Structure 1
Amino acid sequence: MTFTFGTDDDPAADIKTTEATETAEMCRAVERFARRELGFVPPSLDRDEFRRRWLLAGRQGLVGSVVPEAYGGSGLDAVSAAAVLEALGYGSPDTGFAFSVAAHLFAAVMPVVEFGTEEQKRRWLPALCSGERIAAHGITEPEAGSDTLALRTRAVREGDHYVLDGAKAFTTNAPVADVFVVQAATAPGGGYFGLTAFVVEADTPGLTVGPPYDKVGLRGSPTADVRLDGCVVPASHVLGAEGAGAAVFAGSMKWERTCLFAVYLGAMRRVLESTVAYVKEREQFGVPIGGFQAVSHRVVDMTLALESARLLLYKAARGLARGSEDEVAPALAKLAVSEAAVRIGLDAVQLRGALGVLTGGDAEALLRDALPSRIFSGTNEIQKNNIARALGLGGTRRPARRRRRAQNPPPTS
């Protein structure tokens, strides 16, 4: 199933294909499901409630949407998956839960799809697609966030198994996960080929999960630290091959930086619509505040930010669906969506005045949920570094001033 835009020159052209019609119907079904089953944010993280929601999302096809049908998924391409996740973000105010669904799918499940053996796929994917099991991806460490090649978690091979030791931080879904995709160094100091990805069952001796974080945003997404102390993992649980961990991670980030952020598109669209409705109704000085130029222009700027981000995201999704190796488009999409989400959250709060800072409103919720988006999946500063390097601006030559000084040394007495 594909979701094909009209032309490359006009990515926003009306879509009239049968596949697009099917995707649109699927998105409407997801919106109805999200409003009905996920229409509120639980006041606290309840494991049973989270599991109940997860199973329902599994029956809806959300937690395995891009997995091939042969393994229990829906077989969607990147564009259709992004459209479905946008519908999920639009239909539910619980952006944290939607974020958990996307993190499970793109950071943990897709690595099994793209790098797993046939035996691994058949062992883990069906239950991960049905909602019976939940996956988490462990890579971030206390001393290795943006510098992913500096992992301190070690994996030492002993016969037909590896022994893992180390700690992971900020691991999405860790408190509820049944399966972890864990990155560890098998050749410390080996750079790109020094990391290896493992599938580790949550009940493996030596794997422990800390208490859930209390976060400023994405509160519906359970997150915690993970420790690995003498954790014995069969060699058959390696994804790809020893030394392929960085490639596994890079592949998952292309999916995550594109499709995961579609959740925010839906959340922004929902808040923008409620903001327009509010400024049409709220009166000051005898007229609706939407009639004031300062207000109307702010709403226009919010619309511009959303639509610009949306075009960049779907451009990246279309490239991913076609098998493009371009790393710039996902980075640009991640930048545009995350910055737009924070800006729209701030503007929505401002336009509501005092009501905007009361907890429980959709504007303040968007702002809180948007703040982490500039950090996870590679900080926005890292994305700019990646884009600059792709543009040929990442050289390590000495500054021009120092070169000139070397060429024209000062006179000596």
Structure 2
Amino acid sequence: MDFEIPAAQQERCARIYEETHALWGERRAVPGAEEVREDFRAAGKAGLTGLCLPAEAGGSGLGALETAQCLEAFGRGSADTGLAFAVAAHLLACAVPVRDFASEESRAALLPALASGEMIAANAMTEDEAGSDISALSVTARPVDGGYVLNGSKSWASNGPVADLVVTYAITDAKAGFLGVSAFAVPADTPGLIREPALAKTGLEGCHAGRIRFEECAVPASCLLGEEGQGAAVFQHSMAWERAALFGIYLGLMRRQLDQIVQHASRRRQFGRRIGEFQGVSHRIAAMRQRLESARLLLYRACWLLDAGQDHTAAVALSKIAVSEAAVANSLDAVHLSGAVGYLRGGAEEQLRDALPSTLFSGTTEIQRELIAKDLGL
């Protein structure tokens, strides 16, 4: 067991932190659609949209662990956690399944643009009555000569309103249950694919998310990811990468938050003393660090198992719970320790709003505990 991060990776993460801090370290306004596109291009130049994509496609060819460490640096450097989430979702929930399941022709056509940030991808899985339960999907893909016709609606697609490519899942055989789901990578300008405006939501405002509808949307067979009926496997594969590596952005948020709180506690004075000298304050900050360090170890282990090709399901679930719950708890502490300032828009309260959805997306905390219980044989 070696906890030392190689020098080259340390340098890469330091560069990412510096670049993202220079670009988005002071951002407060919610970016518009055109600004999001400029942000993705900038993220592409920093190498963030292609971290784990092949070098021949313009990516860095990193594994899950190194990808998570880079996203941690991104989350620490950028005040716009929503943008970091948008980039990570684009990369892990969309580009990864294209990388691993698309045809050779589709990979050649899509991966360079995905890696550079010129093309923005959206993950359209969730429906009004189906989230983690992939067997309950209502969107259908009717086989026709040369392809499929998609019909139905997805309720929550990260990057949906600004997407150029939509990775989605649909029923191709209603009688086959789990094995009747197929995955598709559909160009957003395909007739019959309708992107609805961005949803108003609490937190992660830098990530535009919205409904996507398919109305007799005809797609060629080349849009299929993997084989027909392999959609559940594609989804689980992409979720393993997302649940493991994406949450690096929250490690970065917690590190940035901890730095800010330590600085505040060292500077703010009450009753003639720095507030960090009061045990009630210092112990609370110590607990924030303990949650961060513990969550980081679980996340790194989950990514290491994923890279090693070992059984990672329970480890990823444990990591996802630890990071998301630590992010919420630390953000609540940060609001409290900041006093009235923590209640103002744009500070600790914004970090809390960005942390809250982490217990919901990529499978709720309850779903993760179900996976852990199943691993225990319960």
- TM-score of the superposed pair, with normalisation by structure 1: 0.90
Aligned partner (choices 352, 358, 365) of residue 373 of structure 1? 358
1:55 is matched with 41
Aligned partner (choices 100, 106, 109) of residue 123 of structure 1? 109
Moved over 6 A (4+): none
Deviations 1:270-318, CA, capped at 9 Å, x for gaps: 0011101111111111111111111111111111100000000000111
2:373 is matched with 388
Specify the code of the residue in structure 1 equivalent to 2:4: D
Distance in 2, Cα, partners of 1:226 & 1:153? 11
Matched, 1:231 2:217: yes
For residue 181 of structure 1, give the secondary structure of its aligned residue in structure 2.
strand
Matched, 1:82 2:68: yes
Aligned partner (choices 242, 255, 270) of residue 241 of structure 2? 255
Distance in 1, Cα, partners of 2:270 & 2:26? 31
Distance in 2, Cα, partners of 1:22 & 1:364? 35
Instruction: Give 1:322 shift.
Output: 1.2
Distance in 2, Cα, partners of 1:235 & 1:86? 37
Instruction: Give 1:45 shift.
Output: 3.2
Deviations 1:85-131, CA, capped at 9 Å, x for gaps: 00000001100000001000000000011111211110111111111
Matched, 1:286 2:276: no
Contact 2:28 2:79 in 1 (8 A): no
Structure 2 unaligned runs (5+)? none
Distance in 1, Cα, partners of 2:295 & 2:343? 25
Structure 1 unaligned runs (5+)? 1-6, 394-413
Specify the code of the residue in structure 2 equivalent to 1:150: A
1:334 is matched with 320
Q: How does 1:118-197 map to 2 (within 5 A)?
A: 118-197=104-183
Distance in 2, Cα, partners of 1:35 & 1:194? 45
Specify the code of the residue in structure 2 equivalent to 1:46: G
Aligned partner (choices 65, 78, 100) of residue 86 of structure 2? 100
Instruction: Give 1:148 shift.
Output: 2.0
Instruction: Give 1:236 shift.
Output: 1.7
Contact 1:338 1:370 in 2 (8 A): yes
2:203 is matched with 217
Instruction: Give 1:392 shift.
Output: 0.5
> Bigger radius of gyration, 1 or 2?
1
Instruction: Give 1:326 shift.
Output: 2.1
Matched, 1:110 2:96: yes
Distance in 1, Cα, partners of 2:361 & 2:27? 21
Distance in 1, Cα, partners of 2:31 & 2:83? 10
1:400 is matched with none
Distance in 2, Cα, partners of 1:331 & 1:116? 27
